[in-house]
Amino acid sequence: MTLSPADIQAFIRDGYVAVPDAFPHALADRCRAILWRATGLDPDRPETWTKPVVRLDQFAGPFAEAANTPPLTRACDQLAGPGRWLPRGTLGTFPIRFPSAEDSGDTGWHIDVSFGTESPDFMQWRANIFSKGRALLMLFLFSDVGANDAPTRLRAGSHRDIARRLAPAGEAGLTLGELAATGFAESARREERLATGPAGTVFLCHPFLVHAAQPHRGTAPRFMAQPPLLPREPLSLERVDGDYSPVEVAIREALGMEGVSAS
């Protein structure tokens, strides 16, 4: 298997785990070349990089290859449960970050909400305690990302804070606007970690993990995709056979349903 028992425990505790070499570096290079062409910018002429972030969407082909490698699909089975998630054909949005003194305006703490997305106002999009519409958040690194290269910031353990906020709201859940009303202050005490690593690394994150972008202080633009892993069936917090996935165990622990008191 791709993840060790210690990796799975770390996922339950911290809300994420990094899968190194989840897809080949050479495949990341091919994908990055496609993305560069789509930006219309010149990789060799930094003077053409005039914006702090360029968002691109929905690439298939080699990107689907990156999403479906054996190490990655094994890790998804291990975290979300075998047969309980849907393979991806595309990789969602790519926020490509460039070195810039300009504020990109999108570096606030948040979780990626996952239903009610038919509303034109994304602050009305919702999440619930069953993580309707999302089995995992995945961060695919398509360039080498060091500490200065705008790595996504992760609040380790914050998925537990969000589980406790969502639980009283039941099936209806909360909107992003309602969740953001606290400024995500309930997770401010959590240790901040960085999604750094070589191209080909994938961070598999609990759907409730609080995370944020940051300005790019390095030299090489950062290429990353952040698709959801979609559930094939709803998550369950009450299984007769007790066959909980680590995503479910983390929620149950946060809510004191596992007989352990998790901070």
CB of 84 or CB of 97, closer to ligand AKG = 97
CB of 66 or CB of 96, closer to ligand AKG = 96
Percent of the chain that is helix, strand, coil (3-state, to 5): 30, 20, 50
CB of 4 or CB of 182, closer to ligand AKG = 182
**Of the residues 138, 166, 210, 213, which one makes contact with ligand AKG according to CB under 6 A:** 213
**Of the residues 7, 14, 112, 161, which one makes contact with ligand AKG according to CB under 6 A:** 112
Contacts of 95 (CB under 8 A, 6+ apart): 53, 54, 55, 106, 213, 224, 226
Least Å distance, CB 104 to ligand AKG, is: 9
Burial class of residue 169 in the structure, from the number of CB atoms within 10 Å of its CB (0-12 exposed, 13-18 middle, 19+ buried): middle
# of chain residues touching ligand AKG (CB under 6 A): 7
Least Å distance, CB 112 to ligand AKG, is: 6
CB of 20 or CB of 108, closer to ligand AKG = 108
Least Å distance, CB 228 to ligand AKG, is: 11
180, amino acid identity? A
Quick note: the x/- pattern for ligand AKG over 6-45, rule CB under 6 A, is ----------------------------------------
Give the whole-angstrom CA distance, residue 76 versus residue 86: 10
Least Å distance, CB 220 to ligand AKG, is: 15
**Of the residues 165, 190, 211, 252, which one makes contact with ligand AKG according to CB under 6 A:** 211
Least Å distance, CB 175 to ligand AKG, is: 15
Give the whole-angstrom CA distance, residue 228 versus residue 243: 22
Length of the chain measured in residues: 263
| 113-134: b (≥16 Cβ within 10 Å) or e | bbebeeeeeeeebbbbbbbbbb
User: How far does Cα 62 stand from its chain's mean position?
Assistant: 20
CB of 97 or CB of 155, closer to ligand AKG = 97
CB of 112 or CB of 161, closer to ligand AKG = 112
Pairing of strands 53-57, 93-97: antiparallel
**Of the residues 152, 175, 187, 245, which one makes contact with ligand AKG according to CB under 6 A:** 152
| 209-229: b (≥16 Cβ within 10 Å) or e | bbbebbbbebebbbbbbbbbb
10 token code pair: 């770390």
Quick note: the x/- pattern for ligand AKG over 61-90, rule CB under 6 A, is ------------------------------
Q: Is 95 in the site for ligand AKG (CB under 6 A)?
A: yes
* Footprint on this chain of ligand AKG (rule: CB under 6 A): 95, 97, 112, 152, 211, 213, 226
